[in-house]
Structure 1
């Protein structure tokens, strides 16, 4: 497999940030190129990222993804530069538009013009990177500016964007250094890569200048039916209960009736019916789930999409530690 293999770690699977770092160490031992983790309403992600960076030597460190509503652009730049130093330059900053639920019900802010906020946030961060100041005049941010107190590195952390829709993905190509999409079929990913390439061209870049690392969630286990049952429940939950975006995206990729039926079941909070509404065809399009050999074949095939630089593997809910080790070990054969 020519593409890299990344590991997406769920903080909720761990009792301490130190345990997250232990998973990163194991990922490095197995040959994964990069470890990433997300932040929603649980831990602040920075301690776990710092510990993972301190305990590994070559493994890339990434966050998937920080909300621009939860931290100021200047604080995001400070965070990225601190993690750059902690990891000896192995850190990539992940940003995404976030969602109404997290923005309004956790951060207490209005989910207003999210794409504009992301764009301006990137421009402020790059101002700190390039000029040593967040001084900026925009539609959302008006910042007089102070000077960054430390020397800015020659190669500051790249900025990856987690987006789904065509306009947002074009923005990722134009203003970002990488793209980390999620819940795309192979055909859907190929189509959306056209939007990414168009954005890159607007900035005078090529698609090859961006690190494309789609996220897929799956499980490898000798008990094939159990693995597929866990994956089916997890994918159905993401389509029906994770706000509108993943479901809308998969509906637009050709499965509107499936998404509608799953959402109807979620309206009754019937998670069993949600899983039953997800047919094998769609599960197989979205998730590597089955025996170790099947999962290896799925990931290797997905990695062959032209323009993909890495496949980022995440776990599904309900997996045991043995399941996680089996999944990581199975995929390490692709490295």
Structure 2
């Protein structure tokens, strides 16, 4: 992949290895050309610990959360966590926040998934104030903070990015944050979402998590893709995103089967063409070309979520196949 066309190139952590092994893995990844380590906080490790390990392993690597939710940490706790990492890696850390989903917020964390747009907006505004070192006493629309001050505000405040799907959150990301984090979309879809972010001003970051399965076996890759699509695109926020993108007719048969409880039928009703749009797969060379297509469409930081279906695969091998220097 041409280095003059892509200056940043990220990968998702944690990798399929104990966290204690990550310092070595991070150093190998950066030696191969990866510039960024981005965490994914869902149901495994939290969003900050793997980045702390990476920051200590390589003093030059860039770091980002993609994403942590303002529903699952209090405002002050979120500010302190971010400030800690910003102190450890000054100028190299970007804080990605996003509403997450009903499953994560309500079913797993016993919080109310209420007014996500306003909750994210209010959190961005609070974090801006907190990172400045100001004492914050504010009645936001979705929460209140009384008398909080970071006693160790970061000397270099982290950029704040917003995970965004549809128009409202995309425009919020461009207007009040430093850019957007996007996922579960094709390279062509990037051209639809990016103008909404840039409507808030030029120079906004566009970070895209891209699911990549570098195996030259389309049957296997599509089988993996179908399972992922049925798991994610039945989540209401993602279903609405793809309706907005114009895929309602394509996905309706799968959605109907899923709602009826027929999981097997739902898998069968995901067309190959949809898998091929949303999951990068094929030979490493073909995958790198598809990743470049996202960059050409407006992504500034591609962040790979590498899927290696081989039993007992080395946690780095597939990632190294996809490295810029490969």
Q: What is the TM-score normalised by the length of structure 2?
A: 0.89
Equivalences for 1:1-335 in 2 at 5 Å? Answer: 1=2, 2-3=5-6, 4-10=8-14, 13-14=16-17, 16-153=18-155, 155-198=156-199, 200=200, 205-206=201-202, 208=203, 210-240=204-234, 243-267=235-259, 270-305=262-297, 307-316=298-307, 318=309, 320=311, 322=313, 325-333=316-324
Q: Matches of 2:50 and 2:291 in 1, distance apart?
A: 27
Moved more, 21-30 or 292-301: 21-30
Quick check: 100-109 or 17-26, which moved more? 17-26
Query: Which one is further off, 159-168 or 269-278?
Result: 269-278
Q: Which structure: greater helix fraction?
A: 1
Distance in 2 (alpha carbons) for counterparts of 1:248 and 1:230:
22
The structure 1 segments of at least 4 consecutive aligned residues displaced by more than 6 Å after TM superposition are none
User: 3-state SS of the aligned residue for 1:213?
Assistant: strand
In structure 2, do the counterparts of structure 1 residues 71 and 177 end up closer, same or farther at CA, with 3 Å as the change threshold? same
RMSD: 2.4
Q: How far off its partner does 1:330 sit?
A: 2.9
Q: What SS class does the counterpart of residue 67 from structure 1 fall into?
A: coil
What are structure 2's unaligned runs of at least 5 residues?
none
Using structure 1 for the length normalisation, give the TM-score. Answer: 0.87
Alignment gaps of 5+ in structure 1: none
Secondary structure in 2 aligned to 1:111? coil
The secondary structure found in structure 2 opposite 1:218 is strand
Change in CA separation of 1:245 and 1:19 when aligned onto 2, cut-off 3 Å: farther
2:64 match: secondary structure? strand
Aligned residues: 322
Output one character per residue of 1:258-278: Cα deviation in whole Å (capped at 9) or x when no partner.
Answer: 322222333465554333322
Query: Which stretch shows the higher mean deviation, 143-152 or 60-69?
Result: 143-152
SS at match of 1:32: coil
Distance in 2 of aligned mates of 1:246 and 1:317: 24
